[in-house]
Amino acid sequence: MPQDKKLYIKTYGCQMNVYDSERMAEAMGGQGYVTTDSPDDADMILLNTCHIREKAAEKVYSELGRYKHLKAEKPDLKIGVAGCVAQAEGQEIMRRQPMVDLVVGPQSYHRLPQLEARARAGEKALDTDFPEDDKFETLKTRPKAKRGPTAFLTVQEGCDKFCAFCVVPYTRGAEVSRPADRIMTEARDLVERGVRELTLLGQNVNAYHGHEGGLAGLIRELATIEDLKRIRFTTSHPNDMDDDLIAAHGDCDKLMPYLHLPVQAGSDRILKRMNRQHTAEQYIRLIERLRAARPDLHLSGDFIVGFPEETEEDFQATLDLIEEVRYGSAFSFKYSTRPGTPAAERDQLPEDVKDDRLKRLQALLTRQQRALQDEMVGRTVKVLFEKAGRFAGQMVGKSEYLHAVHVESDTIVPGSLHSVSIEHSGANSLSGRLVA
């Protein structure tokens, strides 16, 4: 029998890239590839890239440089770059790194088998189109292997918002929603294979329109799958949080009380310069409505500090918003330019100013996160257990609020839900005992 070829995938960035990497592995599985955890024994190396973070492209080129010796030792090794950097850089990647054999954008990765075949034939293969054919339909047959208790499921891609700092509309394209029947088929398949919690993914997931009831309608239909116990979604835009989706947080038991809702800044002047198309007051009133529907809702957010023209007064408005909302977790970054975006052409703030503001903002967020976590002590939460912990006899899972929870037990089965009384709050997790 022919020996399986080995595929090494390194994934950068968001959960959508994690999902995409799984699908790429499945696509190449049909060509005789099995995944490996090491690039050293791979027959093909694939970097699934993200263009959101600072100097994203340079980090990819640096990573590629680490593989030069492997290419020299194994001339038949094929190296590919996928994802958003591939979409943005295209031919430039092959020019700067001639050892790269194929480049494929995030909307074309269902064509990986054909690109790999071209690379094996000695061609340089490049595909950064936005094709008409549905990549999800092309790759709809997943291997029927058992899955862990949680999984990502992409339902929407692209964004039409054109925030002044963001490259997503240029790398992922316009907003596109998958048909609800196809999502339901994939969800049932995942549940049959052991998944108990689904996180619905989209660059702007609450703009989903593939169901007649929008995202709320899709969530309610997914909730009818008996063995699916939990539903989450990310990432959302405040302008697309409609009345029905707000209501779903209160009346859909399977929709978890955790919401990632980025605001980016608390200054109306900066929000306008970012082209966010909402004010700080509108965001706060939206949070009030969500918490009226689900009082125990935990919020997560995104923040950018040091945006062009941000004053100390603007930054203080962001701190004030954070104080008012109280976040259970958040992601925060210094502004960095993205070529081709409007904000990249504006006067930039000094790096030391950005550093100082980021440090102050993160200190506030850390205090809030720890305080809300400490408030869980004495409460009973439902934990979906996923795997064994670091120590013998320990299991770890996630609460409704996405806290990591550790329990001492030899009887818990991965994929099971148990009530846990929280007894201790650690640096980044909770621990407790099972409630009979």
> Is 252 flagged in the annotation as binding?
no
Peptide bond connecting 235 to the previous residue in cis, omega within 30 degrees of 0: yes
Q: How many whole angstroms separate alpha carbon 357 and alpha carbon 321?
A: 15
> Is 14 flagged in the annotation as binding?
yes
Q: How many whole angstroms separate alpha carbon 331 and alpha carbon 241?
A: 20
Paired tokens of 233: 């979604």
Contact 370, 332 (CB under 8 A): no
Contact 257, 219 (CB under 8 A): no
Q: How many whole angstroms separate alpha carbon 177 and alpha carbon 148?
A: 26
> Is 50 flagged in the annotation as binding?
yes
User: 314: closest CA among 305, 325, 302, 303?
Assistant: 305
Radius of gyration of the chain (CA): 23
Paired tokens of 361: 């903002």
Q: How far is CA 94 from CA 44, 97, 103, 126, 246, in A?
A: 16, 5, 8, 9, 46
Binding residues for [4Fe-4S] cluster: 14, 50, 84, 159, 163, 166
Binding residues: 14, 50, 84, 159, 163, 166
